[in-house]
Structure 1
Amino acid sequence: MAEAPSGERPPSWATIYDAPPPVKYPYDPAEALGDLPGVHYALEQFLASHMVESEEYCHKSDEKKERLYFATGYGLIQCVKGLMSYADEDLLSAINHTRHGNLVASQHRKKAGLIGSILGSAGLSSHTQFIKSMTDVERHAELVYAESLFEKALLGIVYSGDWLAFIKEALNMRTTITIYRQLGAFLDEADAAYAASLQNGGETTTTTPPPPPPPTPAAAKSPNASSRPPRRTEDPRIDAHFRSGVYLGVGMCNIILSLMPGKLQTLVELFGYRGERRVGLEMLMRAGGWDSASDSGRQDQDAGVVEAAEEGVRRTICDMALLIFHLVLSSFTVEGVDVGVAGRILEWNLKRYPNGVSFSLSSSSSLFPHSPPPSPSSLLPPLPSLPPPPPPPPFPPSRKALTHPHPHTGVFFLFGAGRLALHRSQPRQAIRYYTQAMASQVQYRNLDHVSFWEVAVARLALWEVGARVPGGDVVVLKGQGRGKGRGKGKGEEGKGKEGEKEGGEGGGGEVEEVVGGSAMCWRVLEREATWSKSIYSYGLAACLLEDWPTDDLASPEGRKRKEERMDEARGLMARVPVVRQKIAGKSIPLEKFVARKARKFAAQGNRLLLPALEVAYVFQAIAHAPRAVLVGKMLPLVRRALARLAMYGEGTGVSAAQVSVSVNGNGHGEEGSVPPTPTTPYTPATPFTPSTPAPPKSAASLASGWRIGAVMGRASRGAKAAQGAGKLGVERYEGGAGEYWDDLCLARFLEGVCLRYVAYPDPDAVPDPEEKIEEGMDVPQEEAARGAEEALRAVFAYGPKIELDHHLVYHAHYELGRLLACQGDFEGAKAEYELVLSGKTLEVGPSGRKGKYSMENALHIRTHAALDALQSASGQNKHRA
């Protein structure tokens, strides 16, 4: 436990354990809550990056897997491992252990009568009287039963991959929701009765006898317990551990139901289920006291926060659920998002988990003073035997704690800190957090894959697509091995061949890994991770197809390396459609998208336009890119693509006179024919206002709009140039006219998106004071907004000529709605959103009028969220619409 100077309060986040809590043997189900301190300690160890020690402690504390909390806690760890690895054997092991934990919880539950059970499961009874009649252990068992049932259902959906299994597990989800609702109603009723008793002069209005509180070790008692006033009127006879579990379950159920699409929400409401997002967030915040904690502007930011010594065992999981909502799910929803709350939660938990205290597990006597007898007495029926737990996947040899050469920071909250930095458009800072997360733990390689995914996206936000990055972040690990793929990481073009040899399969010595550019991160994921080989392969291929700063096409060696890179990209693209997966019998939308792009790559003669920048849009890297990257790297890249398109046809907004090109026998321009980006001062052309109607579908009207000289290198054109005079003709473009219009609309769409974020950065963005933009390259807000609208409307004008990428039209309407909302034109934004949700085919040709377009469901979710933000009564989220 953290020591505080005499007379001073210890910090609210100070750990309450200075030794592992003892475990009592033999096990008595009536005293099941005596294991709560041990489970609390195991959770602290897990979150402090001592995952293996936590798992081993749970296993040794209950080798027979008969204890309520240890059996289900061990099953939860297996669930996390299975979802991280996504390997069949890990998922199957997790299913077996969660099923066993569910059985243990069921044996601890109070048995209901047949009629009461039917009415309760059907939601036809409040069931609170039955819960009141339970003992404290039985109420905890009811809670744990719902939790383990949810885990089992989730694993079953992921593992089975068929629709029938999804229906079966959905029924289990329904049972879980029903139990949580009943427990939540009981808690509300108990608190209301206690509050009424206080108003009646202290006479209790409830008939429930006060249950004894869960045992707590002496070291866990808070010196501030009597000094801090209660935050709200709560029945003190209900322990904090039970409360935190109910808050977690009721809160998550409300949030999950509120995130469902409108049609599905209507369906579940027929069964009596409705999700209130505000209620869900309030319940999750209540577990940690964040609903009454001071805001970031107050001096004492810990005021009102539940101290670690007084928290419920599930409080930290509630905190993590809030972080996931505010920092991850906020990519698809708006209402209720508060990045400031996420920042306060992260700040507190990063103080709590800077270096967890770990204890050697080499001797069981220090942890288990009362060795379990050969045949412990038990009031429970015998449980089926389980196979021994599988060894952790490529973990290093077990280490002895207290001798670790560097502190272990909580890896999960470092993930949150990285997401927060990315939300603030600080990808460089985010990469530092993710590399620190890699160095903070050496036990679960799958957790490193989370960091590599996030770094891959952050590198795209910095437009560092190559394998190597000058001054790249280095992770140095001393005294620990990391398994295959670890090492110096300096193989040819970032392949890490030398790294694999030096890293070996784990061991001692100093191990170093360089976290390079986006391509390097995708390569690690494609080689090691198992979540989505399809997406990893496409992400790597897209980066390989881009030009790298290290390319030296003037030398034979440089040309050879680039050709080898292109060959590798072709092989990866061929794999993308083959390695797709399914969940609940349904294809993953993002995998369907990359598979379509891979097929398009092959159909176009192994060619795609701006593939990595399109990936950056899909993963919202453009949204979080610093302004200097947008105007200095991304927009010039788009300009070069438009300049090449301008040689063949209309609609690019780039003067054909700027392009000097020799044409080969196939009508293709030679490499290097596009001039470098000019740095002439910015010059607007014809006045343009947001209220200007959409231009007609003619190139002449599109070409007469606004120009950016500094960034896009545009010049005014005469009528002949606008009509296509001096062009090579779209039929001579690469694969013909069809490819031209697809590429044109993609380039104009990406141009519009980049300019929109130049004009209106993400509302949570925090500009870097050290960020420098080259003189003459910046774009004023008003002109960037005009250019964004012109580019997006160009997609509408030429959308009917698109052959494959019809989704660009619908995404362009969504992005135009975002732009209009930022400008305060809420009615115009609403009209664009309603077009996306209308189900109409909009500005697409005959080939786009059948079936779904790519990423349709994801776009509808984001559009619904933006529309809800516009219609918010408070109006506080309209800037996020």
Structure 2
Amino acid sequence: MAHVGNGASAEEEEEDCFEDAFDRTPSTCRMDLQTAIQETQCALNLVLNNKFSQALDLLKPWWRDSMYHALGYSSILVMQATMTFEQRDIQAAMATIKDALQTCQRFRKRNSVVGSLSSLISRQANLQEEEMHAELCYAECLLQKATLTFVQDENMISFIKGGIKIRTSHQIYKDCQNVLSITQGVAQQSELFRQFEGGVKLGIGSFNLMLSLLPQRVLRLLEFIGFSGNRRFGLSQLREGASNHSLRSILCAFTLLFYNTYVSLILGTGEGDLAEAEALLEPYQEKYPKGSIILFYSARITSLRGNLEKARARYEESISSQQEWKQIHHICYWELMWNHSFQQEWQQAYRYADLLCRESRWSKAIYVYQKAAILSMMSAEEVERTGEDLRALFRQVEGLKQRLAGKSIPMEKFAVRKSRRYKASNPVPLVVPALEMMYVWNGFTIVGKRADLTESLLVTIEKVEEQLLKDPNPSEYHPDDSCLVQMLKGLCLKYLGRFLQAELCFTQVLSSESRIRYDHYLVPFTLYELGLLHKQQGDFIKATTYIEKAKMNYKDYSMESRLHFRIHAALNSLKGSPVSTP
């Protein structure tokens, strides 16, 4: 398992190396590169079979002496952190990554720039291959560190800071890519080189994909210091990496899965490639049929296709498949809460919202607001049966707001601002707050797959619309509430194919702009939705005009960064589209 050069017998060597396996291994022991990769692959298999502690135990004896054990150990913790979004997990992962970087640093080429990597190819000695992999592992740890920075906050500033932090990682990957270009077509590459190639494709692909998501104004700043992002190239690199049967193949696949099932929905127009996601997941479903992470992604894809009943069963299966990482349960609770909300099964949605409030530490402000928003959709009798004080819940939200790196989380700021209506002695209740949050998380793109659910939501929205029209004593919030209802109604009508009526709803919001007092986000978001409506009808000129107006004419409104990501994705999808008019 390890190469030792102290003259001892093989039996003595192995006994010395693995005695007290969970303590730090003596420095005389040395793990060879191929074995390190194999053990890291074993650890990854354990993770995918729900054996998380066993995976960490396998890696722990060597994580301060082997670059791949260090990378694997930190990768598991980073995966946990990015799936749970809990600050405790993020901080633990951050600390481990710092140690992993130190381990990788010891194996990197001394007194040289990474650009000299290409000279290593001419002499394929073990040490040179080790240096190549050390550069790769070091860059990957830096990329993980950046990923955690992005997870902490979706604000533009965080993306800029994260990008600057990983400039070294980006440069290393570019130089590693040059190595691949130089050796392209060389016959009979070694297994270690193939592993190296898989790592480069993961890094280059992830970088290009991540940077391509950034709005143009941010990307221009990053391009000034050497960054660039090509989405098509990034996706192609990840796809090649996912198919090359290396240690990092599944990481390439998971990156593509996350992009198609989450990123494209929350920060894009909701047009993820579900066929690709299914194809990527299929071999892992066969290999790890009870793996909680695999079951979760299977449920997510099923949900995005609109089959909410089948998705619900798979989320529940994921929960029951393991009890060690409770945080994976929380992600499933979040999805089940929305699953029931899409079907307006508010009692069941409340159950999962309540579980999140009690068990998860990610964002208490968002969880409490979400629970209160769901309760707002229920009758007074149903709320009373839960024993909850709706007004008290909304009043808790502001005190639960947290700050990361000195900044508030945008979604928490939104929840706090909406909750302030309940501070007055005679509060004005929010209208359809759960449907508003559904829109914020782009849930209408899922509901829109089902005409029956969309019709049901439309009925609920039209009831509230009628109540607002008949209100004998309209409050100061009345124009804002009316515009929110019209925007949501327009969305339902769009997904039902009633385009003219949808456009009338959207234009009604725009014509009421001067009357809106608090929810200023409604106008730029409505312009964006009106642009998408015209895109759907084939009028790409009008679509671009409305979306550009939302981009250029408004600022300092709630969730501005989120809309700019969606605008960037929408304008990219319009580039090269055939010009047509109605």
Q: Are residue 343 (structure 1) and residue 342 (structure 2) matched?
A: no
Corresponding residue for residue 59 of structure 2: 58
Please give the alpha-carbon distance, in whole angstroms, between the structure 1 residues aligned to 2:458 and 2:198: 49
2:565 aligned with 1:861? yes
CA contact (8 A) 1:95 1:156 kept: no
> For the Cα contact (< 8 Å) 1:457–1:518, is it kept in 2?
yes
Aligned to 1:627: 451
CA contact (8 A) 2:71 2:100 kept: yes
Aligned to 1:584: 405
| 2:495 corresponds to 1:757 | yes
Q: What is the root-mean-square deviation of aligned Cα atoms in Å?
A: 3.1
Q: Which of 299, 305, 325 pairs up with 1:444?
A: 325
1:155 CA displacement: 4.7
Q: 1:588-599 alignment to 2 at 5 Å? A: 588-599=409-420
Tell me what 2:552 maps to.
838
State how 1:226-305 maps to structure 2 within 5 Å. Answer: 235-236=189-190, 239-289=193-243
2:172 to 156, 176, 179: 179
| Structure 1 counterpart of 2:225, one-letter code | F
Aligned mates of 1:348, 1:421 — CA distance in 2: 17
The gaps in structure 1 that reach 5 residues or longer are 1-20, 199-233, 290-305, 355-408, 467-516, 649-727, 760-783, 841-850
Contact 1:102–1:148 (CA<8 Å) still a contact in 2?
Answer: yes
- Cα distance between partner residues in 2 of 1:574 and 1:257: 39
Say if 1:154 and 1:634 are closer, same or farther in 2 by CA, change over 3 A.
closer
Calculate percent identity across the aligned residue pairs: 29
Greater share of residues in helix: 2
Amino acid at match of 1:267: L
Supply the distance in 1 between the matched residues of 2:261 and 2:482 (Cα, whole angstroms). Answer: 34
1:250-286: CA deviation from partner (whole Å, max 9, x where unpaired): 1111111111111111111112221111111111111
What CA deviation, in whole Å up to 9, does each residue of 1:481-521 have, x standing for no partner?
A: xxxxxxxxxxxxxxxxxxxxxxxxxxxxxxxxxxxx21111
Cα separation, 2, equivalents of 1:329 and 1:164:
18
Amino acid corresponding to residue 835 of structure 1 in structure 2 = K
Following TM superposition, by how much is the alpha carbon of 1:31 offset from its aligned partner in structure 2, in angstroms? 2.2
The amino acid that maps onto 1:314 is R
Indicate conservation of the 8 Å contact 2:146/2:166, yes or no: yes
Distance 2:460 2:273 in 1: 34
1:167-566 alignment runs, 5 A limit: 170-192=163-185, 194=186, 235-236=189-190, 239-289=193-243, 311-331=245-265, 332-333=267-268, 337-354=272-289, 409-466=290-347, 517-548=348-379, 553=381, 560-561=384-385, 564-565=387-388
- The answer (yes or no) to whether the contact 1:105–1:144 under 8 Å persists in 2 is yes
Supply the distance in 2 between the matched residues of 1:758 and 1:255 (Cα, whole angstroms): 32
Distance 1:461 1:157 in 2: 28
Distance 1:746 1:139 in 2: 55
- Find the aligned partners of 1:574 and 1:335 in 2 and give their Cα distance: 33
> What is the rounded CA distance, in whole Å, between the counterparts of 1:268 and 1:825 in structure 2?
33
- What's the offset of the Cα at 1:76? 2.4
Cα pair 1:248 1:318 within 8 Å, conserved: yes
The CA deviation string for residues 455-485 of structure 1, in whole angstroms up to 9 with x for no partner, is 111211111122xxxxxxxxxxxxxxxxxxx
Deviation for aligned residue 1:288: 2.8
Partners of 1:276 and 1:335 lie apart in 2 by 19
Assess if the C-alpha contact under 8 Å between 2:34 and 2:192 holds in 1: no
* One-letter code aligned to 1:585: G
Listed one character per residue, the Cα deviations across residues 323-351 of structure 1 (whole Å, up to 9, x for unaligned) are 01111111123699422111111122211
Q: How does 1:783-802 map to 2 (within 5 A)?
A: 784-802=498-516
Which AA in structure 1 matches 2:451? Answer: R
Q: Is the 8 A contact 1:837 1:860 kept in 2?
A: yes
What does residue range 655-694 of structure 1 map to in structure 2 within 5 Å?
A: none
Gaps of 5+ in 2: 1-13, 19-25
Further displaced range: 85-94 or 620-629 = 85-94
Are the structure 2 counterparts of residues 455 and 874 from structure 1 closer, same or farther at C-alpha, using a change threshold of 3 Å? farther
2: CA distance, partners of 1:83 / 1:420:
19
Shift in Å at residue 163 of structure 1? Answer: 12
Residue from 530, 535, 538 that aligns with 1:821 = 535
Query: Match for residue 147 of structure 1?
Result: 140
In the aligned structure 2, how far is the partner of 1:444 from the partner of 1:747? 40
Q: 1:572 aligns with which of 367, 379, 393?
A: 393
Deviation of 1:576 after TM superposition, in Å, equals 1.4
Q: TM-score, normalised by structure 1?
A: 0.59
> What secondary structure sits across from 2:446 in the alignment?
coil
TM-superposed deviation, 1:814? 1.4
Whole-angstrom distance in 1 between the partners of 2:331 and 2:429 = 30
The yes-or-no answer on 1:644 pairing with 2:467 is yes
Instruction: Quote the offset at 1:30 in angstroms.
Output: 7.2
**In the aligned structure 2, how far is the partner of 1:144 from the partner of 1:421?**
35
User: What is the deviation of 1:79?
Assistant: 3.1
**Higher mean displacement: 323-332 or 130-139:** 130-139
Q: Provide the C-alpha distance between the structure 1 equivalents of 2:429 and 2:264, rounded to a whole number of angstroms.
A: 34
Cα-to-partner distance string for 1:686-716 (whole Å, 9 max, x where unaligned): xxxxxxxxxxxxxxxxxxxxxxxxxxxxxxx
8 Å Cα contact 2:242-2:248 kept in structure 1: no
Does residue 493 of structure 2 align to residue 612 of structure 1?
Answer: no
* Count of residue pairs brought into register by the alignment: 552
With over 3 angstroms needed to count, the CA separation of the structure-2 counterparts of 1:253 and 1:788, relative to structure 1, is same
| Matched-pair contact (CA < 8 Å) for 1:150–1:172 | no
CA distance in 2, matches of 1:874, 1:49: 48
From the superposition, tell whether residues 621 and 92 of structure 1 become closer, same or farther in structure 2 (CA, over 3 Å): closer
Counterpart Cα distance in 2 of 1:443 and 1:616: 30
Indicate the residue corresponding to 1:744 in structure 2: 482
Shift of 1:429: 2.0
CA deviation map 1:721-772 (0-9, x unaligned): xxxxxxx4xxx22xx3x2221221111111111111111xxxxxxxxxxxxx
2:302–2:311 contact (8 Å) kept in structure 1: yes
